[in-house]
Structure 1
């Protein structure tokens, strides 16, 4: 049975991802915020293991124990949309977590590459390929880099995977999923995947349901052909409307 680790599992997208993975018969280890248990949500599923802890406070040795036997790590981490969440510590929550996870994977030295699937944002450009966002978007993003630490965190997390892990790492492969304007829907619907954004992420954003993001991330982990298509890339997802 495949075993996977989900960090940020108690978030709005994370809990949907956990449910999707369990439905596929995977063994899921979920790191959730203390006092944010999903046990009642997943109905005490036999394949579900919950770790109530802040990812920033887990030691690398503890994380190694939870990662042992996994073939995929999902990050659905994000900053709470409060003053403390946006401007308080940890300002590099996503980046520091991706770096920590990568160090632990390297220490495990798995025989086959372990996947990291990161939920990112369409407002972050993939600088591995020619992407030329509209000038209006570039200007706003430049301001966000100065004013909103979470945006920089998302950029740096993806950049770490692009630059430091790269395309030919011995033990790690990765993909960074870029949803656009996140919305809530109750069921998976049709969606499209693109190599680069087709919309202005600031002034012409398109809806992307969280449950579709969770579905695509789960598909990446379980569909070998899909993974081969998007490995080492930053796919953009939109609802097909």
Structure 2
């Protein structure tokens, strides 16, 4: 297996921590941008108590708020990486839902992509490609279409979320932005859309071109560890990547 380097943002999130640890467990290099290096190590230690020792040489951590980094700092962070994974999201608190930055995911996605493209413009390696994996939600609509049929009530709820709940609007805007990036053959992307997220161990998962079942109260679940595994698999498996690049797969646990 070739050794890759992946930049992970949102690495202290409930899914992002699994992405980091699973990449490290696969002997891959990870650069994480987080507000607190200690918090990341604590979260990884809760899953694997020996992680800080075992993976010290593979893990690089930068303490920063992603939107506070300058363009040059983002260029440095994305230089020579094979993949960028964004698990950014809004905290489910009043401040997280309604406070600033309201376009955290969109602005971070845009700035990271611009940094990748700036590095590519200066590079002599015209064959090197960069993968961009964005974590969305089940309710994020695929700009390319194909998600219907949705029921009238589901479409009404999505419309309401889009215009009244800033985090949902942010996630959709980020997906719409990355969807426009089809003209650069060296930048490839996918948007992972999980069903209802739960904690749990890694198991088998299933990917679909569009959401399955009802948006409301369905029995389908996806463990955060499995969502992370799908991202890691796409980084390491070219066959899987070729199947899902430029698409917005829906993920749920296979059982």
1:169 to 2:184 alignment:
yes
CA contact (8 A) 1:123 1:202 kept: no
Structure with bigger helix share is 2
CA contact (8 A) 1:121 1:154 kept: yes
Query: Counterparts of 2:71 and 2:94 in 1: how far apart (Å)?
Result: 29
For residues 176-215 of structure 1, what are the structure 2 equivalents within 5 Å? 176-185=191-200, 187-204=201-218, 206-215=220-229
Runs of 4+ residues over 6 Å off in structure 1: none
Counterpart contact for 1:37–1:52, Cα < 8 Å: no
Deviation at 1:71, TM superposition (A): 0.8
Distance 1:224 1:28 in 2: 19
Contact 1:180 1:205 in 2 (8 A): no
Cα deviation, residue 36, structure 1 = 5.1
- Aligned CA RMSD, in angstroms, stands at 1.4
Contact (CA 8 Å) 1:10, 1:36: kept in 2 or not? no
- d(CA) in 2 for partners of 1:91 and 1:100? 15
Gapped regions of structure 1 (runs ≥ 5): none
**Is 1:54 matched with 2:75?**
no
- Stretch of structure 1 that moved more, 117-126 or 226-235: 117-126
Q: CA deviation at 1:205?
A: 5.7
Q: Do the aligned partners of 1:191 and 1:238 also contact (CA within 8 Å) in 2?
A: yes
Partner Cα distance (1:88, 1:202) in 2 = 27
Deviation at 1:43, TM superposition (A): 1.4
Partner in structure 1 of residue 52 of structure 2: 43
Between the aligned partners of 1:206 and 1:172, the Cα distance in structure 2 is: 32
Mean Cα deviation higher: 105-114 or 55-64: 105-114
- Other-structure match for 1:159: 176
Matched, 1:88 2:99: yes
Instruction: Look up the SS of the partner of 2:15 in the other structure.
Output: helix
Given the alignment of the two structures, is residue 139 of structure 1 paired with residue 148 of structure 2, yes or no?
no
Cα deviation digits, residues 104-156 of structure 1 (max 9, x gap): 01110153221100010111121313221222111111111222100000001
**Residue of structure 2 equivalent to 1:228:** 242
Q: Helix, strand or coil: the match of 1:156? A: helix
Deviations 1:193-235 (A, max 9, x none): 1000112223436211000000000000110000000000000
